[in-house]
Amino acid sequence: MSLDDNHDPEYKEPGTSSPISRPSYDNDFSSFSATSQNISDKEEISFSGNSENYCVSFIDMVNSTNITAQISHAENIRRYYSIFINTMATLARNYGAKVIKNAGDSLTYYFPKTADSTNKAAFKDVIECGLTMISAGTVLNTRMYEEGLPSINYRISADYGRMEIVRSGISQNEDLFGPTINICATINSKASPNQMVIGGDLYQIIRSFSRFHHDYRFKSAGEYYIGFKHLYPIYSVLTKNKTQTLSSHDQMTRLKPVQIHSSARSYSNQKNQKKHTHNIMLVDDDPDILLTYKSILVDESCNIETFTDAQEALNHFSQVNPSNYDLVLLDIRMPGLNGLQLYYKLKAINMAIKIMFVSALDAADELISIIPGVKVDYDVIRKPVNREDFVNKIRAVISGSLN
């Protein structure tokens, strides 16, 4: 048989008497060609034609490849990454950021409101977002430990500059292009584990605002070479009124002594007062609501501290004995530090503290469900509160913390 026998239309399979009909590929080839043409006609990305100045931030896990190589089960690897990415994405959105990309062990997000370079509050959110993410490490690693997973360390970088917003032709997701994105990702390695760095352009914007240097401390973290001759400065960011404490991941913080707000005077400091059973701290920016909660809980023989300012509550909490409070009640929506942000900062000081949320927000379920260990039905009280339900929930949480 010659090599051409197989190409004979009447070629018979050995052991058979009937010719095998050959399939026709003409139609399939035509269909493939048409499909290829459609793909080539559709652009993978399309530029909007507009460019804006934004703050962009990049958070990246440290040494995650080597760590996950030692995790034996695929489900545990998925949990390891998802806990980190989902928690950080929620925090970013809570500060007004828009997540544009995740790469398994990293997250890229930008702050649309920083298009206005005079918007001090928007730029403060950029810094507070990063510092709150650092504080959240204690909570994250506690959850990792409870699930039998390795601890997480990560770095955060941020910068400011002109970027192009592009849209994917297939997924319709937004992405950002431009040198600012590349620089932000590159300078990330200049941060120590569980710290934040910013680029020189963002630093110049921030230093133009009054009181930023009162709230934060900026320290040179090195330089980034742009080409052969240009050096781009990089700065680490710390909260000025905080110093590092005895956290295994350098994430717990202690505030320097400050004067406690007059609204924080407790019943326990008053003379001739009967002994109370539990110590509770209430934080809500509405003084009338605080008065209502306080009157209810004092009737239940509780020792109450009230704060209308979340930052002052944090300052106070950092100075007392870690076991002083049996419970902290937080509103979610507050100016300055909101309830979610304050939660992570309190947990960074005392991981064991019991915290409940009191909120009228419809989004509370979604917001709280991402926090490790917090159960919506157990740890959230809806406004307006019912006195009996309010007291019963608080009793249940406190008794659980004391058992």
Q: Could you state, in order of their start, the residue ranges of all structural domains in the chain? A: 46-241, 262-402
What's the pLDDT at 368? 65
Q: Rounded mean pLDDT of 342-359?
A: 88
Nearest to 260, CA basis, from 244, 291, 281: 281
Strand partners, 223: 233
Q: What's the Cα-to-Cα distance from 357 to each of 281, 345, 368, 380, 390, rounded to whole Å?
A: 12, 15, 9, 5, 11
Is the pLDDT confidence value at 392 over 70? yes
State the pLDDT at residue 197.
97
Contact assessment for residue 63 and residue 172, using Cβ atoms and an 8 Å cutoff: no
Q: Cα 269–272–278 angle (5° rounding)?
A: 55
Q: Which of 54-68, 97-111, 242-256, 286-300 is least confident?
A: 242-256
pLDDT bracket for residue 169 (50, 70, 90): low
Is residue 380 within 8 A of residue 356, CB to CB? The reply is yes
Predicted local distance difference test score (pLDDT) of residue 249: 38
State the distance between the two ends of the chain, measured CA to CA, in whole angstroms.
88
pLDDT of 9 higher than 90 = no
Over 80: is that where the pLDDT of 6 sits?
no
Three-state DSSP state, 192:
coil
**Closest to 130 in 3D by CA, of 341, 274, 318, 331:** 341
Classify strands 327-331 and 278-283 as parallel, antiparallel or unpaired.
parallel
Please state, in angstroms and rounded to a whole number, the distance separating the CA atoms of residues 232 and 251: 28
Q: How far is CA 16 from CA 5, 8, 12, 200, 377, in A?
A: 15, 15, 7, 80, 73
Q: Residue 361's Cα: distance from chain center in Å?
A: 20
Mean pLDDT of 266-281: 56
Higher per-residue confidence, 244 vs 69 = 69
Dihedral angle, C-alpha 283, 372, 185, 193, nearest 10 °: 90
pLDDT in tens, 23-67: 444 554 444 444 444 444 556 666 666 788 999 999 999 999 999
- In whole angstroms, what is the distance from residue 264 CA to residue 290 CA? 11
Which tokens is 367 given? 């917001």
Q: Which of 109-118, 234-243, 256-265, 320-329 shows the lowest mean pLDDT across its residues? A: 256-265
- Residues 6+ away with beta carbon under 8 Å from 77: 68, 71
State whether residue 321 is helix, strand or coil.
coil
Instruction: List pLDDT tens digits, range 190-202.
Output: 999 999 999 999 9
Q: What is the topology classification, in CATH, of domain 262-402?
A: Rossmann fold (3.40.50)
Tell me which of 365 and 335 has the higher pLDDT. Answer: 335
Mean pLDDT, residues 259-269 taken together: 36
Fill in the DSSP letter of residue 276.
P
Written out in words, the top-level CATH class of the domain with range 46-241 is: alpha beta
Structural contact between residues 158 and 201, judged by C-beta atoms closer than 8 angstroms: no
CA distance 333 to 256: 26
Average pLDDT over residues 266-287: 66
Report which of residues 246 and 116 the model is more confident about.
116
- In the predicted model, what is the mean pLDDT of residues 304-311? 93
| Cβ-based neighbour number of residue 197 at 10 Å | 27
The confidence band for 227, taking pLDDT boundaries of 50, 70 and 90, is low
Distance CA 95, CA 129 (A): 6
Amino acid in the structure at residue 203: Y
- Residue 358: pLDDT over 80: yes
Tokens, residue 58:
């990049």
pLDDT score of 283: 96
Please name the helix (run of DSSP H) or strand (run of DSSP E) that holds residue 62, with its range, or none.
Answer: none
pLDDT, greater one: 164 or 44: 164
Give 400 or 303, the one with higher predicted confidence: 303
Q: What percent of the chain has pLDDT over 90?
A: 41
Three-state DSSP state, 71: coil
- Helical pair 120-135 and 339-349, crossing angle rounded to 10 deg: 40
Q: Among the residues of 95-229, which ranges form H helices?
A: 120-135, 137-146, 179-187, 200-207, 212-215
For residue 181, what pLDDT is reported? 92
Which pLDDT value is given to residue 351? 86
Q: 């006195």: which residue's tokens?
A: 387
